[in-house]
Structure 1
Amino acid sequence: MSNFLYLFRGGDEAYGKLSQEEKQAHMQVWGEWMGGLKEKGQLLDGLPLGEDGKVVKNRGELVTNGPYAEGAEMVGGYLIVSAKDIDEAVEISKGCPIFDYDGSFVEVREILTMDEH
Structure 2
Amino acid sequence: MAPDTTGFEIVKIEMDPGDLLIFNSLLAHGIRPNLSENRVRMAQYISMHPAEEDNEEERGVRIDSWRDREAPKRAAFPGDPREWEKKNAEVAELTPLGKKLLGLESWR
The structure where strand makes up a greater share of residues is: 1
Same-fold call, TM cutoff 0.5: no
Q: Which has the larger radius of gyration?
A: 2
Q: Which has the higher contact order (CA 8 A, sep 6+)?
A: 1
TM score, norm. by length of structure 1: 0.23
